[in-house]
Chains A and B, each alone.
Chain A
Amino acid sequence: MRPLSPSMLTLAAALVACSGTETPDAPAQSGPAAAEAPQPAAQPPEPPALDKDALEAQAKDVILVPSPSEMQDALAEAGVAQGLSALVGDRSVRMESDNPDVVAVRTGVVLAYALLTVKEADTATLLKRLDDIKAGMTALGAGTDINATIDDIKGRLSSDSLSRDDLLAELDEIHGAIIPEIEYEAGARVVPLIQAGSWLAGVNVVAEAIVQADNATAATRLLRQPEVADYFLQYVRTEGSDKAPPEVIGRLEQTLTHLKELATRPELTVDDAKDVKARTDNVLALL
Chain B
Amino acid sequence: MLTLATLLLVAPAHAGEDDARTCIQAKVHQARAEGWSVRTRTTSTLQAGALDVYAMTLQAGIQYRFIACGDTSVADVGLYVYDGEGRVVARDLSVDREPHTDYTPPATGRYYVVVQAVSMVGGAATGAISTAVTYK
Q: Which residues of A contact B (CB under 8 A)?
A: 19-28, 34, 37, 40-45, 47-48, 50-56, 58-67, 69-71, 73-74, 77-78, 168-169, 172-173, 176-177, 180, 221-222, 224-225, 227-228
In B44-90, the 8 Å CB interface with A consists of 51-62, 76, 78, 80, 82, 84-90
**Given the complex of chains A and B, what is the CA–CA distance between A66 and B37 in angstroms?**
12
Task: Tell me how many residue pairs across A and B have CB atoms closer than 8 Å.
Answer: 174
Report yes or no: B59 in contact with A66, Cβ–Cβ below 8 A.
yes
Contacts of A228 in B (CB 8 A): 57
A55: which of B53, B59, B131 is its contact (CB, 8 Å)?
Answer: B53
* B110 CB–A CB distance under 8 Å: yes
Instruction: Give the total of B residues in contact with A, Cβ under 8 Å.
Output: 52
Contacts of B118 in A (CB 8 A): 44-45
**Given the complex of chains A and B, what is the CA–CA distance between A47 and B61 in angstroms?**
25
Report yes or no: A221 in contact with B38, Cβ–Cβ below 8 A.
no
Contact A62-B40, Cβ < 8 Å, known A71-B59, A74-B60: yes
In B1-47, the 8 Å CB interface with A consists of 28, 32, 37-42
Q: A64-B54, A173-B38 are in contact. List 17 more A-B contacts (CB 8 A).
A: A20-B93, A22-B90, A22-B101, A28-B87, A43-B95, A50-B53, A50-B86, A55-B82, A58-B51, A58-B53, A63-B39, A70-B39, A73-B59, A73-B136, A176-B37, A225-B57, A227-B110
Contacts of B32 in A (CB 8 A): 169
Report yes or no: B94 in contact with A64, Cβ–Cβ below 8 A.
no
6 contacts between A and B (CB under 8 A): A24-B90, A24-B91, A54-B86, A59-B53, A60-B55, A221-B108
**Given the complex of chains A and B, what is the CA–CA distance between A173 and B134 in angstroms?**
11
**Given the complex of chains A and B, what is the CA–CA distance between A221 and B40 in angstroms?**
22
B92: which of A21, A27, A41, A172 is its contact (CB, 8 Å)?
Answer: A21
Contacts of A71 in B (CB 8 A): 59
**Given the complex of chains A and B, what is the CA–CA distance between A37 and B92 in angstroms?**
12
Report yes or no: A74 in contact with B37, Cβ–Cβ below 8 A.
no
Residue of A nearest to B35 (CB): A165
Most buried by A among B52, B84, B88, B95: B88
Contact A48-B116, Cβ < 8 Å, known A55-B82, A74-B59, A176-B38: yes
Most buried by A among B82, B90, B93, B110: B93
A20: which of B39, B94, B114 is its contact (CB, 8 Å)?
Answer: B94
Report yes or no: B91 in contact with A45, Cβ–Cβ below 8 A.
no
**Given the complex of chains A and B, what is the CA–CA distance between A190 and B52 in angstroms?**
23
Q: Which residues of B contact A (CB under 8 A)?
A: 28, 32, 37-42, 51-62, 76, 78, 80, 82, 84-95, 100-103, 107-108, 110, 112-114, 116, 118, 131, 133, 135-136
Contact A55-B62, Cβ < 8 Å, known A48-B78, A180-B42: no
Contact A177-B112, Cβ < 8 Å, known A21-B90, A48-B80: no
Closest beta carbon of chain A to B108's beta carbon, Å: 6
Contacts of B86 in A (CB 8 A): 27, 50-55
Report yes or no: A180 in contact with B41, Cβ–Cβ below 8 A.
yes
Report yes or no: A62 in contact with B42, Cβ–Cβ below 8 A.
yes
Contact A47-B39, Cβ < 8 Å, known A74-B108, A228-B57: no
Report yes or no: A21 in contact with B100, Cβ–Cβ below 8 A.
yes
**Given the complex of chains A and B, what is the CA–CA distance between A63 and B113 in angstroms?**
9
**Given the complex of chains A and B, what is the CA–CA distance between A207 and B131 in angstroms?**
31
Contact A176-B39, Cβ < 8 Å, known A45-B118, A70-B59, A77-B62: yes
